Amino acid sequence: MIKRSKQKEVILRVLRSTTSHPTVTWIYDEVRKEIPRISLGTVYRNLKLLRERGEISELNLNSAPSRFEARTDIHYHFICEKCRRVFDVDEPPDKRLKGEVDQKTGFQISSYQ
């Protein structure tokens, strides 16, 4: 059995509390509210361990900083080119879905990952 540290628990709780696909810096700022003396290096190490164990996912989107999420199931992402927000999409992208998403959200989809 793998020991679960307080740091890992707080990082997981922070990730589970948001759907915003945060960066390490955002996660670090949120975790520091509960563990003020935690280092950025500790957050990086714990994110790496959680990802290796399959408890979280890391998103590498183009040349932007990595983003993380608590979802580990297979799903797709849309990225707003203006605000850079990342949105989950539960169905595989195709032309029909593109039209539906355009219509439902008002976003014009130029590409997807």
**pLDDT tens-digit readout, 3-47:** 679 999 999 999 999 988 999 999 999 999 999 999 999 999 999
Which of 1.10.10.10, 1.10.760.10, 3.40.640.10, 2.20.25.90 is the CATH number of 6-69?
1.10.10.10
Query: DSSP string covering 17-66, please?
Result: T-SS--BHHHHHHHHHTT-TT--HHHHHHHHHHHHHTTSSEEE--TTSPP
Q: Give tens-digit pLDDT for 60-101.
A: 877 678 999 998 887 777 777 788 778 777 766 666 666 776
CATH 1.10.10.10 domain locations along the chain: 6-69
Total-model pTM? 0.75
